Amino acid sequence: MSLLLYQVTHGDRRGYARMLEAFWDEAECAGLELPRKEPVTAQAFSAARHKLPPQVVRALVHQAADAFDLEHGEALRFRGRRLLAVDGARRFVRRSPELHRHFGAPAGAHYPPTHVTTLFDVCAKVPVDVALGPVDACERRQLSKVLDRTRDGDVIVLDRGYPSFDVFMMLLSSGLDFVARMPMSQTFAVVETFVASGAREATIEIAPPTKSVLQGHAPIRLRVVREQRGEADPWILITTLPATDLGAADIAEIYRRRWEIEEFYKLLITKYFGQGQFHAKWVGGVEQEVYAQMLFVVITRTLMAAAARVADVPYEHLSQKAAVLAVGDHLTRIVLRSPPRQARETLVRLLTRIARALEKPRPGRSAPRRSLQPHSRWTARGRRGGG
């Protein structure tokens, strides 16, 4: 596990052998003892990884996220409630027959992508759960795989690809409130009528469509809100949250905070943290690496919250990039057993470094999507390295 976490911040720049050498060198320089003096071989590390069930790493993500929420969660709520966004993203993996069979690939693609769905606490900025599926996985079906990690009082925040009668019923039957952005056209007739009306908000009834497996179920009453955005198209937001508790502006603010999951996915593909195509050529290995990256984020966020508390600075103002790099630099001393005094000194030094790097949040941040799809090895003219 220590090596998997170390690989998260160093593996994209190095193969197994160089990564293992660096880990052993850092441990020796820090005076930390390892089971053997010389680094294990790349083959031994690869063989050991095959013995580690990926669900063990996923369970550690759950434990770390729960520990974060227990220690710091109460201060990171919206009106006392967790806001959990769900969204999916493609991550490219290595070329191998096993990965092609399991994840599939679009026609003409050289590298198979996996569909990663994340349940993300947008106030705490912590991944709560993650599920992997094939490239053509149904987003709505993937959503059901992470709902076990929700609890009473949570509010689910969804983008335009998720809303459907079946999804709404699944959330309601799980005891969850939700805020979901609706398309302005080619959606429920009652929503299109609301869009045409120009009203700020209304109460509507949505019935199951003819193709729904819930055909014949009673209609559900929901609240719909319009949020104007200057010259851009308005947001049409549908929710279970009553107007007596939250006004239209509050509903818009809840959806606006969903942007944090987009920032999270941007973090996962940055040059200083992204894993590119990962290393593993087998399904369990890909799952390990995805879960390990999520675990590293939770560990980093936990240390950021601790640094904010110790230094009495706003958690939201701490630099995520600086924290990720700092934790990566101190990782061997964090994950390996150190003498108590040395461990305390390391932690104080790390928290101080994290607390020093402040960034004022910029409202309304956005950025173009960045693709990690590998370039073709050969051009149409037979030249190496073309796009």
265-320 pLDDT, tens digit per residue, is 999 888 888 777 788 999 999 999 999 999 999 999 999 999 999 999 999 999 99
Torsion of CA 287, 305, 82, 328, to 10 degrees: -10
Look at residue 210 in the predicted model and tell me its pLDDT. Answer: 82
Look at residue 191 in the predicted model and tell me its pLDDT. Answer: 95
Taking each helix axis as running N to C, give the angle between helix 2-10 and helix 16-29, from 0 to 180 degrees, rounded to the nearest 10. Answer: 110
Torsion of CA 248, 177, 76, 299, to 10 degrees: -140
Return the half-sphere exposure (C-beta side, CA atoms, 13 A cut-off) of residue 333.
21
Mean pLDDT across the chain: 90
Look at residue 118 in the predicted model and tell me its pLDDT. Answer: 98
What are the strands of the beta sheet with 201-206, ordered from one edge? 126-133, 113-121, 83-92, 155-158, 177-182, 232-239, 220-229, 201-206
- C-alpha 135/C-alpha 116 separation (Å) is 9
pTM check: above 0.95: no
Give percent above pLDDT 90 in the chain.
74
- C-alpha 323/C-alpha 319 separation (Å) is 6
Q: What is the mean pLDDT of residues 248-275?
A: 92
Looking at per-residue pLDDT, the higher value among 377 and 190 belongs to 190
Residue 96, SS3 per DSSP: coil
**Which of these, 167, 165, 175, lies nearest to 138 by C-alpha position?**
167
pLDDT in tens, 175-197: 999 999 999 988 999 999 999 99
For residue 249, pLDDT over 90 is answered with yes
For residue 386, pLDDT over 50 is answered with no
pLDDT in tens, 40-51: 999 999 999 999
Return the half-sphere exposure (C-beta side, CA atoms, 13 A cut-off) of residue 63.
7
If one counts every other C-beta atom within 10 angstroms of the C-beta of residue 317, the result is 13
Residue 299, SS3 per DSSP: helix
pLDDT in tens, 83-132: 999 999 999 899 999 999 999 987 777 889 999 999 999 999 999 999 99
- C-alpha 373/C-alpha 387 separation (Å) is 10
State residue 85 phi and psi, 5-degree precision. -90, 150
Look at residue 368 in the predicted model and tell me its pLDDT. Answer: 46
